[in-house]
Amino acid sequence: MEVRWERHEIKILNQELMVEPYLQISAKGLDTNAQNLHQDFIKNLPHLSEVRDDHIEIFSEIASDIETAKMNIRDLLSTNDILNEFDGEIDEKGISLPIKIRSADDIIIQSRMENENQIVQIISSNINGGIFRSFVMPDDCQINSITSGNGIIEILFR
């Protein structure tokens, strides 16, 4: 069974984002991965359509197996664990994590439902040498919105 993650948009507060056009290497930003880049490359080889189709099928099966294995070995933290690690806080409105980002592309926050609990992933290659953390939201809480301002990421509840 394929794991479906929902990516959450991060609204940047009190900040104007300016990106120089010549600095934009890819329009996909962090929305891409090696598999997508590889598929884009393979699509540009029209004379190898049969080989391409077989290759993509095999690659997809392997990638799915690898992703499932990675998910099974990664630790799933509690909300308290993530708060302790990042010196964050929680109240009735949501979770506050002191993580400084310059743009919404600096970090990915995504979630999925598992056994009536929302599992959240925080992913960044730029922050603290790289972050990959998964944690369980508190009972009966789900993400409504995410904002960032003054060095604090706010994960607001519904």
Among the residue ranges 63-72, 86-95, 133-142, the one predicted with the least confidence is 63-72
Alpha carbons 113 and 5: distance in angstroms, whole number: 9
Q: Is residue 143 assigned to a domain?
A: yes
Q: Hey, which residues does 147 pair with through a beta bridge?
A: 11, 154
Q: Which residue range(s) make up the domain with 87?
A: 6-18+27-157
pLDDT at 71 over 60: no
Helix (H, G, I), strand (E, B) or coil at 57: helix
**Which residue in this structure is represented by tokens 């479906």?**
4
Q: Is residue 1 assigned to a domain?
A: no
Is the separation of the CB atoms in 52 and 58 below 8 Å?
A: no
What is the residue-averaged pLDDT of the chain? 79
pLDDT tens-digit readout, 1-52: 567 889 999 998 875 444 444 333 455 556 677 777 777 766 666 555 666 6
Q: Tally the domains of the chain.
A: 1
Alpha carbons 142 and 102: distance in angstroms, whole number: 25
Q: Is residue 93 assigned to a domain?
A: yes
Query: Rounded to two decimals, what is the model's pTM?
Result: 0.61
